[in-house]
Structure 1
Amino acid sequence: MVRAVRFSRFGGPSVLAYEPVDDVATPAGRIRVRVEAAGLNVYDTKRREGREGDVRFPAGNGSEFAGVVEELGEGATGFSAGQPVLGRAYFRSQADAVRVKPEEIVARPAALPVEVAGGLDVAGRTAAELVRFAGIGPADTVLVSAAAGGVGSVVVQLARLAGATVLGTAGDRNADFLESVGVLRVPYGPELAERVRRAAPGPVTAVLDLHGRETIEAGLALGVAPSRIVTLADRPAAEELGTAALPSGPADSADLARVASLVAAGEVVLPIDRVFPVEDVVAAYEHFEGRHLRGKVVLRF
């Protein structure tokens, strides 16, 4: 029997169910992967609540995973049965098995724990895209909001690897983590710009926003050029205020492979806040949606 996490109406985590689904043959050009771990992301919540995307019921859930190749459909190349991989399967990754295109997965380094690999695709690729799009380099002092979250924790480290000085907004419980990766922590909340100004060793030159309008407004108050205030979290605010938003585009597996190698080598850390068995998917999303996290929440199959 094959099961998958699905929902048949909009609502909170309680609408999710890990239930039997049809197990069809692997189509030509696709690769069947047995899923071992799958990460949770903010978009999952928005989609399940009916705030994002075109959803048809019953709807699959989740977009990133790690697992082992089980079968190659006719014409699929680049991988072999038994090979550990990680990657993406949009809106269907939380399942016992997924069928993906070869370009949607990359080889999983042997030193990369499966729980970390299962939560890496969205955070790793998005962080790499954001740092590259903003042109972060050694001359920059960068403010990153939600700096200890799933994406933010990788963003701050990639920005540091690019040579930048990095300030990150986070709560008290994440202060030690940010310090451990060389980031100056700034508490979030009202009067953010003034706290950043006091903490920064020099003028802030770029803002990478993973939280929302408050960070964008702080960047403008700090005198950052609007083109270098880049948001992932609040496109309407960026449009209204004349700042930038990370453009949508095709997923880049090369970015994922690079970040996976950095994590496997210990040069980047992806914190795992908590791992839940897939049978406890409702509790996993209640935890995910109910508090400020450090890193990723992951389902284990």
Structure 2
Amino acid sequence: MALDLAIYGYDTDIGKLVIETLEELKIDIGKLYPLSPLEGEFDAVALNGRNYMIEPVSSFDFSKAQVAMFLCPPDESKRLCGIATEAGCIVIDNSRRFSGDEKVPLVLPELNPYAVKDALERKVVIPPASVSAELALSLSVLHDEFGVARAQVTALESVSEHGRAGTETLARETTLLLNGMALEDNDFPAQLAFNIHTRIGDLSESGYSTHEEVVLHEVKRLLGDFERGFDFTSIQVPVFYGHTAVIHVELEEDVPVGAVEDAFNACKWIKVADKDELLTPVTHGINETKLLITRLHADPSSRRAFDFIVLMDNARRGEAYSCVQIANLLGKELNLIGND
């Protein structure tokens, strides 16, 4: 047997990366159902040497697939999720619609793969936001080894956090400005090209942005509370792909910087850069499935405090990779995919 998988949003930037990742990880897929919001698309999606015809989502029978990925905006997820789950299909929802819902399993496969069992009953499972995954994966190494007392993070997030709308807007604005032309109106609160946004999302009463609140909530769900707290600030930068996080961490015990580096080096999803290597998200982060650690050094004011920078391909590693890994875990729980 094999997993029958439906994908709504197969033609989005994340959807295309999901198809590539399914092939790269050699996930055992029986049938693929690429779903479109349009009627009458006479085209196909290739996977593992086979072509799968695109079907309209409006008439699709979700009982034909054991798992469906929704790589779409929240309003489309709201319209379709109930239809899929009532048909017995388990939904991997990447729309962020369920981000604050404690009843919906939040799964980061490297950290809590067991949580997919809850999805068998709830019928919905969500991956964390890409920057939440980046922070949880990097901080978990230190938390498991030494205990993290406090972490303070500033994330420089690329425009692909907003999907194709972000990358296309940045490209269009860059072209217009370089040619001395006026910018067009769009859905972003300010110019993206050659500019920095000091927050992502609306500002809430807490003083955090709505995006920051999601990340704070998700990291807490994945790692628990730190003794002296976790603080997070997100900044939008004019980069197409790749998130960069600047992290200050205080551990629960005195630790030499060499021990921290050894802990990172021992982790299979992390790569520590050479000390004299200049890392950038464009040159090194894109298409990299590991998190890249650079600029690791001790804080001279404390034997328990350290600073480092983490780079991650937010689209491929942060979103597509997590969605595919969750599908693989669900296939194993349903006894459709063998355990390695």
| Both structures adopt the same fold (TM-score exceeding 0.5) | no
Larger Rg: 2
What is the TM-score of this pair, normalised by structure 2?
0.29
